Chain A
Amino acid sequence: MRPLLLQGHERAITQIKYNRDGDLLFTCSKDKLPTVWHSQTGERLGTYGPDNGHNGAVWSIDVSWDSKKVVTGSGDASWRLWDCETGRMIRATTTPTSVRSVSFSYSGHLFLYATDAQGKTSSAAVIVKDTRDPSHMQGDACVLSLETFQNEKDKSVNKVSSAVWGPFDESIICGHNNGGLSLIELRQNDFTITNENAHSATIMDIQKSKDDIMFVTASKDTKAKLFDSTTLEELKTYKADRPVNSAAISPIKQHILLGGGQEAMQVTTTDIRQGKFEARFFHMVFEEEFGRVKGHFGPINSVAFHPDGNSFSTGGEDGYVRVHTLDDTYFDFDLTF
């Protein structure tokens, strides 16, 4: 089946996310204008901005479980909270540095955001805010602010490149730019589990399984890995021979979806096929690749499964979002054992 091509963004897509019902697809890009689409038809429903909009690349987007609020984090050093339906900005707060990652808690009241470190003046931080508390929305007040992610050995600061909520909203799982993973328990302060050697290069994306029991990481080290979401124990490894920017777990099958490709700078026009800009399917348990979907002209920066598992979307450096419906051959196929 031909994929739906969502055209509208003028620059590279940075992240895509479905809402819980899967009728909406939220995308953000380096072009400052986060956009919401009807996932079935590809109709562009609206944008968050330009009124009160971001002034820089938008790195991350998330939507609350009830599809009422949208949060975005940007390179303009701010996060913004939006009314999902009207597109009206509810709140914006500037941060010391770029916001790399945003994520709503399961409850939908709390959200976290991760900011870059910048030299020695501001350290990398993960901050949790409560949308119900006006003081959180206006000032520096927050539920939690974690500012140091120091390397045990050389005391260097590990930027948080990706962050999500752990199981039951009781913890936060961070992926770092040195390839390490850390899990911070919210109620027991200072209780942290780390897996320093999860990857050997920046963790670009973390996505959980439907039941939160495990999560998949995507890394520049050309691998995606599956981890236990309470112990950070490594369960499986998926080798792509190109940097992996995003990985997702199928909600219905034991499949892992990978997106990535050679970085834009390193790709010449004659090398398009060589960049391997394909979305790739791996078997979750056997770690074997069994399918590829071509289409993008640049690296894939973000992949997402529809909550019903019957379709998936990819967002690329080429500025396009492609919505693929999985056909019978996909559902008929499985690695036998």
Chain B
Amino acid sequence: RDLLSNLTRPHKSDSRQKSLEDREREREQQAKAAKKNKDKESAAAEAQRMQRDTKQFEEQRNKLREKELEKQVIKEKIEKMKQTEFGMRVLKELEDWENVDVKELDRLEQRHREEMRREEEENNQRLKIQEKKIDHIVRAKHLEEVELRRQDNEA
């Protein structure tokens, strides 16, 4: 029996070894597959994250750029306003020329337009008064002169 057992032991051990090895291999393979799966998952997750990040970043950057653009537009508009006298008058009300938001700009522009209209009206009014004055001076002088002309002619 022993012999037999001895005789068969190698066999047994062999088979055992084999089964062990098999098991081991199986386990290894399983682990490998699991790892592979896991790697895949994490890679996908990473990619997703990256994508999200980029998107976020871009959005942020766009927002920033928009804001900057807006700021620039505001700045330009203010610069434009600065060039006129009434524009300056409007801007005097501002404390901080650098930090003006859109709403405020709208309000400013509205005021600017109004000022401009008012200025134009005032100017027209002034010109009208001046025109009348000059006309009246000429006519008054003529009126006063007619008698002198008559005397001059008779003489």
Verify whether A and B have any Cβ pair under 8 Å.
Answer: no
